[in-house]
Structure 1
Amino acid sequence: MKPAEIRAKFFNRRLKVQDLEVTLPGLEELDGQLALRELTAKEVVQAERLSKDETGRNEALEAAAFVTYSLITREGKEQIFSEQDIDGVAGFGMSVLTPIAEKIRELSAIDADETQKNLKQTTSNTSPTS
């Protein structure tokens, strides 16, 4: 296969979509209506940026960003939240965010420990030296 054909295959690859098979506390009426879309590399980087606060990495904000970017309707594959919703999504509670974020990490092949290590490395590389 020629390089141009291989390149075209990469650019035409569809992101994976998976039905969300988790019952969310207090949102049982949404069972069977939600799905997840694989995160792009740009979305993962943006989520890492948005999850940094004055104390370092904020897991709740990272989970909220992942959910914001990935959660879609099962039927129409439409994104439910926009980037402007991240702070609101962070207020949903970890009993809702954690199970969804774990499924997103699996679907998107994200290792939580590796993400944290990379975030620390990025932070130290951009910190001013004394």
Structure 2
Amino acid sequence: MTSEEQIRKSGEILSNPRNQKEEVQALQDTMYVIGGKWRLLIINSICNGNRRFRDIQRSIPGITSRMLSRELKDMEANQLIKRTVTPDIPVLVEYTETDYCMSFGGIILEMISWGKQHRKRIKQA
């Protein structure tokens, strides 16, 4: 779908009568779960094969250990990722995406696509 088609389709959807209160609540819920500076980057890292804490941290420039730890705990509480501890010596902790997390993979891919188009547009200006 071209960007012009996407704009037309979005315009049609947004112009139909809708329940704004319900939409605001849905947007707030979505932003709560995937919002913030780091969550989408963490999800992207895990989905690209980084399973261990240090691998995830190395793949995201600027994130601190403390912030990554906090975000991973919150994401686990929201059922976006699964933390698996293998009781070997040494203990192995791995993080994987859940099916629930993958349910908004299309949204993430659209955001990546939009971001690429935006960067190209701004560079041309």
TM-score normalised per structure 2: 0.31
Q: Which has the larger radius of gyration?
A: 2
Higher helix share: 2
TM-score normalised per structure 1: 0.30
